[in-house]
Amino acid sequence: MVRPFSIILGKTVRHIARLRGGSGSALPGLFVERIDPRFTKRTLDTLPHGVVLVSGTNGKTTTTKMIVELLEGQGLRVFTNRTGSNFSRGVAAALLSEISLSGKLAADIAVLELDEAHAVHFVRAIAPRHTLLLNVMRDQLDRFGEIDTTAKLLTTIAEHTTHSLTLNREDPRIAAIADLIPDTVSLRYFGLAPQLLGQFPSDDNLHDQSSVKSTQLPADVILESFRETTASFVIDETAYPTSLKLSGIYNIFNAAAALATVRNILGNKADTSKLIETLSTITPAFGRGEIIEVNGQPLELVLVKNPSGFRLGLSSFSPAGYATMIAINDNYADGRDMSWLWDVSFESLRQDGVEMVSGIRAYDMALRLDYDNVPVRTIIPDLKQSLKDFITAHPDQPKRIFCTYTAMLALRREINLVTPVKAIDS
Give the pLDDT of residue 308. Answer: 80
Average pLDDT over residues 151-155: 93
User: Which residue has better confidence, 70 or 32?
Assistant: 70
Percent pLDDT > 90 in the chain is 57
**Which of 279, 308, 327 finishes a domain?**
279
Mean pLDDT for all residues in the chain: 86
Q: Cα separation of 103 and 42, whole Å?
A: 10
Do 213 and 261 lie in one domain? The reply is yes
Q: Are residues 118 and 177 in the same domain?
A: yes
Which of 138, 42, 60 has the alpha carbon at shortest distance from 335? 138
Residue 101 is predicted with a pLDDT of: 77
Q: How far apart are the first and last CA of the chain?
A: 24
Does residue 22 sit within a domain? Answer: no
Looking at the domain assignment, is residue 174 inside a domain?
A: yes
Is the per-residue pLDDT at 398 higher than 70?
yes
141 pLDDT higher than 60: no
- For 145, counting Cβ atoms within 10 Å of its Cβ (0-12 exposed, 13-18 middle, 19+ buried), the class is exposed
pLDDT (0 to 100) of residue 55: 94
pLDDT number for residue 142: 47
Q: What is the 3-state secondary structure (H, E, C) of the chain?
A: CCCHHHHHHHHHHHHHHHHCCCCCCCHHHHHHHHHCCCHHHHHHCCCCCCEEEEECCCCHHHHHHHHHHHHHHCCCCEEECCCCCCCHHHHHHHHHHHCCCCCCCCCCEEEEECCHHHHHHHHHHCCCCEEEECCCCCCCHHHHCCHHHHHHHHHHHHHCCCCEEEEECCCHHHHHHHHHCCCCCEEEEEEECHHHHHHCCCHHHCCCHHHCCCCCCCCCEEEEEEECCEEEEEECCEEEEEECCCCCHHHHHHHHHHHHHHHHHHHHHCCHHHHHHHHCCCCCCCCEEEEEEECCEEEEEEECCCHHHHHHHHHHCCCCCCEEEEECCCCCCCCCCCHHHHHCCCHHHCCCCEEEEECCCHHHHHHHHHHCCCCEEEEECCHHHHHHHHHHHCCCCCEEEEECHHHHHHHHHHHHHHCCCCCCCC
Residues 300 and 383 in one domain: yes
Say whether both 160 and 265 belong to one domain: yes
- Statement to judge: residues 111 and 245 lie in one domain: yes
Residue 94: pLDDT band (50, 70, 90) is confident
pLDDT in tens, 295-339: 889 999 998 988 888 888 898 888 999 999 999 999 988 888 898
Q: In terms of domains, do 275 and 292 share one? A: no
Domain that holds residue 320: 288-418
Amino acid at 120: V
Residues 167 and 149 in one domain: yes
pLDDT band at 287 (very low <50, low <70, confident <90, very high): low
Return d(Cα 32, Cα 13) in angstroms, integer: 9
> Is residue 211 assigned to a domain?
yes
Q: Within this chain, do residues 259 and 300 fall inside the same structural domain, yes or no? A: no
- Does the pLDDT at position 113 exceed 60? yes
pLDDT at 378: 97
Residue 47 has pLDDT above 60, yes or no: yes
pLDDT tens-place string over residues 198-237 = 887 666 655 555 555 656 799 999 999 998 789 999 999 9
Interval 397-426 mean pLDDT: 80
CATH code assigned at 216: 3.40.1190.10
Do residues 29 and 92 touch, judged by C-beta distance below 8 A? yes
The pLDDT of residue 265 is above 90: yes
Based on the fold, state whether residues 261 and 308 are members of the same structural domain.
no
pLDDT at 165: 98
d(CA 21, CA 9): 19
State residue 150's pLDDT score. 87
Note whether 208 and 352 are same-domain residues: no
Pair 376, 311 in one domain: yes
